[in-house]
């Protein structure tokens, strides 16, 4: 292989893992704050969505986005912004989280949630709770007021009893549409995927004005789940992850596959590895085996920090991990925010309820995309 072509291939590889030592300071146009939200991904077809229902979903997404935006614009923390954005979606019967959660096989609503602070990687999670109106708040109490990370069922409820959180009876969480889904599943001997057109898990990720990241996720799981089934949403590293060194991610989808891939942490790890490499030392080493002429002709080392900090690299990492989920047979999507304020969506379904905003004036909510339209979907960039 010629020296030039060898280095071109090597340089392209290094570009994906290079250390952007000055990336955060070089990006002068980076937003002061950013936020992204999701309300589930799945088979969301335009011909099955009336204009009125689409407007209803968009309004609910915008309300959640506005709640998170307000916290960040006023100088609040990413953690508070994530909670502020998730709560309205937990309170809405449109989403499979809190009110509107799907039913288990036994006819109960069992709720899961997790939250993580990118500053110190403190995290809290709960699964199988039945009386907590806003499970995301209980997950945060586990993070701040317990020595543990993950609590389940009766133990989580017992812990919650001393935390001053609002509770609700079964009637708060039950909705007729979710009940009909369970009845249809049993009557027609269908799978959860046959009756759940989408994964209605909700989540938010945020970057605050102090440069801190946070992520949170909340769900009711899958219709007809049995035997204490737990999906990815409450699992730190699968459905939720935040690390100031790399990114914050919240996921929605077929949990069994997201757990196997470790989706949230896998994306953040891929981005963090680049920040761990001493790029100058690496280039000096390469220059000993590659001619200075080839180095100068093919590659400008000063370009790498900005490239690594770009939205393209974050999108690439997310798309490639989501492609792994698809290869295993799973589907769903993620939202991501980077330390530079880039917000990214990646999903391998026909749609994902989603929104994003930042301090530079970006504000958008959307439903369709992905496999249906050719918009952002999990297609790896080789």
201 flagged as catalytic? yes
Q: Which residue has the higher pLDDT, 294 or 47?
A: 47
Diameter of the chain measured on Cα atoms:
73
- Residue 376 — very low, low, confident or very high, per pLDDT cuts 50/70/90? very low
Spatial separation of the C-alpha atoms in residues 30 and 116, rounded to whole Å? 23
Q: Which residue has the higher pLDDT, 182 or 374?
A: 182
- Residue 295 — very low, low, confident or very high, per pLDDT cuts 50/70/90? low
Model confidence at 191: pLDDT above 80: no
Tokens of 114: 């997790």
Indicate the pairing of strand 351-358 with strand 34-42.
antiparallel
| Whole-structure pTM value | 0.85
Q: What is the pLDDT of residue 16?
A: 44
- Residue 27 — very low, low, confident or very high, per pLDDT cuts 50/70/90? low
User: CA 22 → CA 117, 245, 338, distances in Å?
Assistant: 23, 13, 15
Model confidence at 372: pLDDT above 50: no
Planar angle of CA 204, 206, 208, nearest 5 degrees:
155
Model confidence at 330: pLDDT above 70: yes
Average confidence (pLDDT) over 267-292 = 68
Q: What is the pLDDT of residue 190?
A: 67
Spatial separation of the C-alpha atoms in residues 332 and 4, rounded to whole Å? 41
Model confidence at 48: pLDDT above 90: no
Cα atoms in the Cβ-side hemisphere of radius 13 Å centred on 251: 37
Q: What is the pLDDT of residue 286?
A: 59
Residue 184: burial class (beta carbons within 10 Å; 0-12, 13-18, 19+)? middle
Summarised one tens digit per residue, pLDDT across range 221-244 is 988 888 999 999 999 999 999 999
* Other CB atoms within 10 A of residue 15 CB: 15
* Other CB atoms within 10 A of residue 339 CB: 25
Candidates 3.40.605.10, 3.60.20.30, 3.20.20.70, 2.70.150.10; CATH matching 29-275+311-372: 3.60.20.30
Model confidence at 307: pLDDT above 50: yes
Average confidence (pLDDT) over 103-111 = 92
Model confidence at 170: pLDDT above 80: yes
Tokens of 326: 């698809």
Contact by Cβ (8 Å): 347, 368: no
Average confidence (pLDDT) over 347-357 = 91
Indicate the pairing of strand 198-199 with strand 202-207.
unpaired
- Residue 292 — very low, low, confident or very high, per pLDDT cuts 50/70/90? low
Candidate list 130, 175, 201, 269, residue with the active-site label: 201
Q: What is the pLDDT of residue 31?
A: 83
Model confidence at 315: pLDDT above 50: yes
Summarised one tens digit per residue, pLDDT across range 109-155 is 999 999 999 999 999 999 999 999 999 999 999 999 999 999 999 99
Model confidence at 250: pLDDT above 50: yes
DSSP string, 194-252: HH-SEE--EEEEEE-TTS-EEEEEEE---TT--TT---STTSBTTTEEEETTTEEEEEE
Question: Strands (DSSP E) along the chain, which ranges?
Answer: 34-42, 111-117, 122-129, 150-152, 198-199, 202-207, 213-219, 240-243, 247-253, 332-337, 343-347, 351-358, 363-368
Q: Report helix, strand and coil shares of the chain as percent, to nearest 5.
A: 40, 20, 35
**CB-based contacts of 294: which residues, under 8 Å, 6+ apart?**
3, 4, 7
Q: Where are the domains of the chain?
A: 29-275+311-372
Cα atoms in the Cβ-side hemisphere of radius 13 Å centred on 166: 9
Tokens of 44: 């969301």
Q: What is the pLDDT of residue 349?
A: 86
Model confidence at 10: pLDDT above 70: no
Q: What is the mean pLDDT of the chain?
A: 84
């Amino acid at each position: 292989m010629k020296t030039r072509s060898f280095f071109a291939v090597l340089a392209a590889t290094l570009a994906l893992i290079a250390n952007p030592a000055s990336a955060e300071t070089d990006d002068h146009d980076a937003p002061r704050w950013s936020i992204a939200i999701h309300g589930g991904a799945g088979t969301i077809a335009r011909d099955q969505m009336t204009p009125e229902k689409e407007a209803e979903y968009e309004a609910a997404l915008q309300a959640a986005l506005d709640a998170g935006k307000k916290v960040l614009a006023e100088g609040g923390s990413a953690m508070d912004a994530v909670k502020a954005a998730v709560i309205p979606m937990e309170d809405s019967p449109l989403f499979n989280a809190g009110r509107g959660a799907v039913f288990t096989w036994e006819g109960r609503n069992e709720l899961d949630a997790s939250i993580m602070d990118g500053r110190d990687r403190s995290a809290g999670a709960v699964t199988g709770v039945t009386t907590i109106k806003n499970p995301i708040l209980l997950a945060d109490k586990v993070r701040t007021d317990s020595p543990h990370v993950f609590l389940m069922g009766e133990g989580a409820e017992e812990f919650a009893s001393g935390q001053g959180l609002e509770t609700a009876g079964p009637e708060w969480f039950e909705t007729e549409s979710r009940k009909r889904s369970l009845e249809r599943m049993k009557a027609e001997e269908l799978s959860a995927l046959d009756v759940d057109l989408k994964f209605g898990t909700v989540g938010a990720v945020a970057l605050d004005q102090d440069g801190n990241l946070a992520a949170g996720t909340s769900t009711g799981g899958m219709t007809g789940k049995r035997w204490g089934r737990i999906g990815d949403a409450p699992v730190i590293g699968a459905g939720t992850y935040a690390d100031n060194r790399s990114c914050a991610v919240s996921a929605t989808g077929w949990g069994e596959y997201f757990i196997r891939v470790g989706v949230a942490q896998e994306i953040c790890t891929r981005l963090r590895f680049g920040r761990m490499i001493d790029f100058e030392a690496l280039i000096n080493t390469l220059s000993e085996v590659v001619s200075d002429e080839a180095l100068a002709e093919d590659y400008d080392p000063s370009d790498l920090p900005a490239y690594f900090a770009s939205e393209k690299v974050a999108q690439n990492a997310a798309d490639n991990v989501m492609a792994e989920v698809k290869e295993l047979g799973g589907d769903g999507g993620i939202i991501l925010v980077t330390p530079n304020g880039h917000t990214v969506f990646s999903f391998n379904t026909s749609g994902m309820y989603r929104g994003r905003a930042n301090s530079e004036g970006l504000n958008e909510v959307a439903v369709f995309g992905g496999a249906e339209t050719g918009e952002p979907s999990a297609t790896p960039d080789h």
